[in-house]
Chain A
Amino acid sequence: MTKKYTIRIRRYDPQTGKNWYDIHNIYAERRMTVLDALNQINEHERAGISYRSSCRMSICGSCGTIVNGKSVLMCNTFLKDLEDPVTIEPLRNFAIVKDLVVDTDAAMEKLRDALPYTTFSITKSRCESVQTPKQLEKIKQTSQCIKCMLCVSACPIYGLDYNFMGPAAAAIAYRYNKDSRDHVGEKRLDSLTGRNGVWKCNFVGECSNVCPKNVDPAGAIQKMKVMGVLHCIKSALKPKLKSKSKSKK
């Protein structure tokens, strides 16, 4: 059974600097995704719309756009769940390269500041690193992140201050800090609780609402804040503890 949908697509041409909305009417099956609809428009109407996609099964995280005002992955958003007309816009808080393609480099670079690796992987130890199911449980949710940057697009704080690390980097940092095989936690916390770290988060909470993998970056940031406070207290007490133990010696 097909139904008629009106699709509005925000276009941008970097050569001319023009910025407009394209309107296409398509007849689509209800189980079609927004990504399928775009493919169909490009195939049948030769519209030449640029967008990113790859896996078509919410794994690669490349097809993020704003559909009817909400940041979503196009490949897991079905037309039947959307109100007509369907408006597709590029992700917010990123510069638009062309049409729906945005430049996420800055946010990706911030993932680097989160030191996204365990110490086990950098010490050249050959032995196995054992992790119990219970330990895995702690990081299971946050390790589902596919770096789609929908959360960054939904974060108003990031939009107002591009120095903020953003929810994706924070969620990943949390994941590695909670990893039982990790020992650089202190160093990571230093960078995360710095000036552009988790303290800039005001807990709007929209990042967790849009995350397609239920990573809950907002919750991760709040937990990191608690960890940050404990870390500050610890590092403030540490020199004293050290000097005490020295004087005892």
Chain B
Amino acid sequence: MKKLANTPAPDWWKEKPAYKIYYFREYSGILIAIWGLYWLWFIGAIIFSRIILAYFPDIDPVFKYILFIPLKYYFLFNCIGFIGAIIHTITWLGVMPEILPFNLSKKQRHLIFSLLILVWLGLSTLLFILLMNSLL
């Protein structure tokens, strides 16, 4: 008697909202990675340009252009990072109550989620104020 394999279709993740949220959560990590790479490039470009411009003042303009791309599009890259960070943080805080080592009711889980969001917003604001104070 033959048995028929019953494996998921290649587009299984489109089937249910829960699968989509999962993909949303995992792929928002890529946005953050792009932002991280951008910052690495940013710092690298500044250090590099100091050295290169000091020794080779008449360097190829194309190279210079490429080197300074991140400095030009900083707004775009920061937006990408910001969106990624917001999605990732909220979805991760959403699954956080599940990981706690005690059994919680749905209501308690929602409460913990809202508390975590409040703490996150509070800490972010505090950091923002401190940063602004030290910059200004």
Chain A positions within 8 Å of B, measured between CB atoms, are: 12, 14-15, 17, 19, 69-70, 90-97, 102-103, 137-138, 141, 156, 159-160, 202-206, 209, 216, 218-219, 222-223, 225-227
Question: What DSSP secondary structure best describes chain A's contact surface?
Answer: mixed
Q: How far is the CA of A205 from the CA of B19 in the complex (A)?
A: 8
B103 touches A137 (CB 8 A): yes
Q: Name B106's closest neighbour in chain A (CB-CB).
A: A214
> Residues of B with Cβ closer than 8 Å to A?
1-8, 12-13, 15-16, 18-19, 22, 26, 95, 98-101, 103
B6 touches A156 (CB 8 A): no
Complex: how many Å from CA A202 to CA B22?
A: 9
Given A204-B22, A206-B16, A209-B18, A102-B6 contact (CB < 8 Å): yes
Nearest B-chain residue to A97, judged by Cβ: B3
25 contacts between A and B (CB under 8 A): A14-B4, A69-B16, A90-B6, A92-B8, A93-B8, A94-B6, A95-B3, A95-B6, A96-B6, A97-B3, A137-B103, A138-B103, A156-B19, A159-B12, A203-B22, A203-B98, A205-B18, A205-B95, A206-B16, A206-B18, A209-B18, A222-B95, A222-B99, A225-B99, A226-B101
Evaluate contact between A223 and B99: CB separation under 8 angstroms.
yes
